[in-house]
Each structure stands twice: as structure tokens, then as C-alpha cells.
Homo-oligomer: A and B are copies of this chain.
Amino acid sequence: MNKLIYGVAYYPEYEHENRIDKDFEMMQKADINTIRIAESTWSTWEPLEGEYDFSILLKTLDKANEYDLNVIVGTPTYAVPAWLVKKDPDVLATTENGRGLYGPRQIMDITNMTYLEACENIIRKMMEAVQDYECIIGFQIDNETKHYGTAGKNVQDMFKTYLINKFKTVENLNNLFGFRYWSNSIATWDDLPDVLGTINGSYAAEFELFQRQLAANFLLWQRHIIDEYRRDNQFVTHNFDFFWKKDALAPFGHSFGVQPGINHLEASKATTLLGCDIYHPTQDDLTGAEIAYDGDSIRSLRNEQYLVLETQAQAFRYWTPYPGQLKQQALSHLASGALGVEYWHWHSIHNSFETYWKGLLSHDMEENAVYREACEVGEIFKNISHHILGAYKRNDVALIVDNRSQTALKYFPVGDKEDEPDAQYLSYNDITRAYYDALYEQNIECDILDVEALKDSTLDYKMIVTPALYVATEETISILRRFVEEGGVLLSSFKSFFVDENVQVRQAKQPYNLTDVFGMYYQQFTRPGKTKLCGEPVDVWAELLIPDKDTDYVMYEHKYWGNYAGITRNKYKKGSAIYIGCWCAKKVLKDEIRNAAEIANIRIESNQFPIVIRNMTGKDGNVLHFIFNYSENENIVICSYNSAIDILTGKSYSAGDNIIMSDWGTVILMERLEIA
């Protein structure tokens, strides 16, 4: 890549007239340099089994060449044609809701042989058709792949084999999963019951782990096919998406946290270039938090720059951007380590389903306010490309995330709404995001590591944060012990370390095998009721911590629970370990995290949200400070760098200068190196 990617998803096959020249001219005017195409086109490329029509695809590539646009071509496998389901209805996954009906995308059984054979065929046919095009810079395999809950007979048969290989004997399974409970134990593998009916959280969680592997394997399989055709300078990427939360901010949902349907770390092995989509609240609710969280997550998979393959231009009525926001959003992505941004999508579509998920162009396909701001973004991208490309982060803090803990807490929720199982009150992601956001809003940058990555990590972080790390292996715990022993600061939340990898509660005082490190233990927990901590109410969950003699602590405020601590802080060997035993107020959480960062000797910004500062080092060694004002009010930031220049405006600042941040404004300060 020699310039930042600025692009759009483009679906000429949806258009009702021949607009390709007009579209590309408008893109050129906006300095858009890349289009992403083809990922949902199967029925257009192969209208009948074995009959192919790549005319739209080839014409688009020809024109892209003509207009000097780069192209990312997707494999069209995430939405199947009707004929494939007519041929074999089992192409549609059987899930806990039975077998779906044809219509939506992403409801296939990704292990079905009919589907896989048809996938391989259309991928090969398409690759043969496009392999000689120079304008293609890379390929996207499938799209937002997950396991889609596939759980039909064939999947459960594979799962049985998996269990036999992993656990060897039914007796072992009975013991590790606690299958004797409610008479669920089995004496032969043939009696293994349908996992869809189970009430056993260990069994259900193991199945979801297995399902995530199916999704990762599917992507790896596609990668191998692509590798047979692609040139060395063509990348392979995938559009990873995040847990999609529906809330008052976004009735249709937005990117929020850890994706339960596939493990990003495992699946990213199928890619040569990291990619993802990020959709986030806008208007009054634009905070940059999702852009930062999702970007940090993807970047941390390999500590590499990544591509935002999709993000909103206008999207829904609640996301129509205010003037300035489109620009701020694009620069926010860069500040997390993106090497490009692609809007979903070029133009709003006129039928079907996502008609109100608006593109850069409204349905009239003409210039509009958002398009005009996109032109400004294109201009900026062109100008700052050389500063951003190759830039990297080196963070002092790692936040640990874990699909297994997420799954286990789905079956054993913190905030039990058993009568509203979908409510997910205080879900794994709610907790994780609260801890992340407390860092983010105080401008303490972090990497986001899958707990599996801890294994190989050099662990040269100053501080590790484990929110709701409910599942923890002996190995994980050893690593964390060693981290503290050697001088690190560990900050863990309630519910961490409670169960093993089989979702079996540790038969020991909690936190398991870390009571000496944290300098406390607990045997009981409670709904907080009227309990307070640091004068603020506690909600949902409170562990009744019993500190050791020399441990620093904060006691709960409550007639009875006031005999127990809610937070403990312990020095252990060369390091420190802080434990927050309850779902405390945001203010208390932020203070405790800030305090921990100070113990860890991490530099703390005096500016806080809505001023957000994110830092990178360019490949030329220059330090870049992205300063954002996520507010409709003007704000002033005092420059804390000796000498710096805003690469957006060329304006220079010295230490102590006022930097005037306009509403939804961005400044990118490049520090002048004293001795360069």
C-alpha cells in the first residue's frame, strides 16, 4: 500500500441503469481510490447451477482500470442463490429455532457438503475470470462469517467425534461436565443427547467453542483456494464484525464488543491483511468509543494496521451525521491504526431490506451534504497518507478478552434475568466495555488481547486488565501470577478466575489460585441492594471480599455487608494486584483504574473525554497525537508538547498554547523531534 485506502462498497448489480461512468466520476471527485465488490452476488454470477455470467463483474473491473480505482473482490458465499437451497434444503442451517426459510443471508450450514462444493466451484470460476486484472489489490473471503448457530445432525455428529477425541471416555465427560446432575450422565457415546436441549452449561459452552472453530476453519479453507490464484502483492482479508448490540442508541444495532460467533484471533490466521466493519452511534451519541474499541481489537490481533472494510456514511435516520462528524469519524479510525476506511456503501439501495441503511449517496444518486463532506475527507487522506501509513502503537496496558468467558457467562449470567433470557443484562460485553471505556475516557490507551494470545506474549506491558475473565486455565493463572511477580500491575474485576476451561467452578477459595496475589479471598457474593462503595451505589453483583492483614481495601457501606471489602489492592512481590469485587459506579471504576495506572507508572493525560487523545509513531519515527473533541461545544486543549504541528492545517503549537477544538473537531499534532 502506498497510500491510505479510501473506498466504498459498490454494487453495480443493484443499479437499474448504466451509471458506472457517472459513479466513478463522482468517486474520483471525492478522491475515493478503492471499491469493494462482489461479496453478495452469487445469484448474479451463477443464475443457474453451472451457468455463469460475470459480465457485470468484468465490466466493473475494466472500468475500474480505466478510472484508476483499486478493487477488492469478495467471494460471493455469504448469501446463497435460491437454486442451491432448492437443490438441497439442508444448505440452510438447523439451529435452536429449527431450519430457516430461504431469504436472509448468513443462515447456511457452513459444513454442508452441497454448500461447500458449490462454494468452491463459484470461487474458482470467479477467480479464473478475474485473476489477470491489475486493479485488484486484494480479496475478501466471505463476509462477517460466524457459525450461525448451525447444529443439525451432521454438525452434532462431528461434535461427538470431537468430544471423543478430546475427552476419550464418557466417564471423563460425566466428571468434567458434571453430567450426573439431573440424571444427564451417559454410559455410551451413543447416548450423548441433542445439545440443543441441554441444560448443562459445560456441554453447551463446549459446543459453542466447537462451532467457533467450524467458522474459523471455513475461512481457512477459502483462503487456501484463493491462494491458488492470487498474486503475491494481492492481500487476503476478511470483514470481521463485532457483537451487535440493539439498544436505544440504535434500534437496528451497532458494533459493541467481543463477537461470540467466531474467534477473531483464531480466524485471523486466514488473512494477510486484517479487516473489519465498525458501525457506531453518531449525532449526539458520537463518542469514538466503538471506533477505538473495535480498532484496538483488530489491530492487536497482530499489532498491525488494518482496513475498515465497512463503516457508515449516512446509514439510519439516527446516524445521519452532523456537519463535521464524517470527517472526525474517518480520522478516528486512523488514530486506532487503520490504513484506510471504506463506506458501506456507495449509494442507498431502492428495494429489498437495507433500503434505509443509506450510502454516501441518497436514493436520488446525486451530490448531497454528506457526499460533499466525503470529498473533504478524500482530500485530507491524500495529504496525510505518508504520515499514517506504517505508523504503529506501543501501549503500556493490555485488556484481556475471552470468548469462553463470554459464552460461560451467557449460561451463567451475572444479572440473572432468567425470565428474559435475551436481555443479557450486564453481559460479558457490558462489563468488558465498561472497563475499556473507563480507560478510553481517561486517555489511557490499551491493546486488546485474546486470552489465548497471553501464551506467547512477551508480556512487556506495565498493566494487565481482566474484566470478567470468568474462565481461566491453570496456565493463564500462572502467566498472570508471573506477571505480577515480575513487577506488573494486574487489575481484575469480579467474576474473574471462577471456573476452569470446562466451565467447572473451582473447588477452592476465590479468586482461584490468586488469593495470595490479591491478598484476599471470598466465599460469598450477593445482590448489593442498598450497598454503596465510595459513596456511590453498587448494582447487580457484589463479592464479599475478606482482605488479608496487610492488604489495602475499600469496605462496602451497608449495615451487614459493611464487614466486607468491595475493592482490594495488594503489593505482591515486585508488582501489584487490584481487585474490584462488584459492579460499581462508573466514577469509582474510573478512579480505581486511574489509580492502578499511576501505580504502574503510566503517563496520564490531564485531558479527559470529550477530549480524546490517541497516539502513534510514524514509520519515520515522528510521534503523532490525534486530538478529538467529541462534543457539539467548542473546547480548548492546552498543548503539552514542546513543539508540534497540526498536519491537517499546518498550524504550529508550543507547550502551553491554546488549541481551540471546534465542535466535532480533530487536530493531529506531529511532534517535532528535538534532534531529528
Q: Please report A residues at the B interface, Cβ cutoff 8 Å.
A: 11, 13-14, 16-17, 40-44, 47-48, 51, 76, 79-83, 85-86, 100-105, 175-188, 190-194, 196-202, 246, 251-253, 283-284, 314, 316-318, 320, 322-323, 348-356, 362-366, 368-370, 412, 416-419, 502-510, 523-527, 529-530, 541, 544, 559-560, 632
Contacts and interface: CB of A to CB of B under 8 A. Distances in A.
B283 A200 contact: no
Contact of A104 (B13, B197, B314): B197
B14 A180 contact: yes
12 contacts: A40-B182, A44-B185, A51-B187, A79-B182, A79-B183, A181-B354, A182-B352, A252-B418, A349-B505, A362-B523, A364-B510, A366-B509
Contact of A351 (B186, B192, B504, B526): B504
Nearest to A506: B363
Nearest to A367: B523
Contacts of A365: 507
B191 A369 contact: no
State the majority secondary structure of interface residues on A.
loop
A285 B578 CA distance: 33
Contact of A368 (B16, B193, B524): B524
A91 B297 CA distance: 48
Contact of A41 (B76, B183, B418): B183
B82 A193 contact: yes
Contacts of A17: 507
A418 B246 contact: yes
Given A82-B192, A362-B524, A366-B523, A177 B352 contact: yes
Given A416-B251, A524-B362, A524-B369, A352 B181 contact: yes
Contacts of A525: 317, 320
Contacts of A348: 505
Contact of A314 (B16, B101, B193, B524): B524
B184 A43 contact: yes
A507 B103 contact: no
A513 to B, nearest CB: 12
A201 B355 contact: yes
A201 B366 CA distance: 24
A86 B193 CA distance: 8
Given A353-B181, A412-B356, A529 B284 contact: yes
Contacts of A191: 81-83, 86
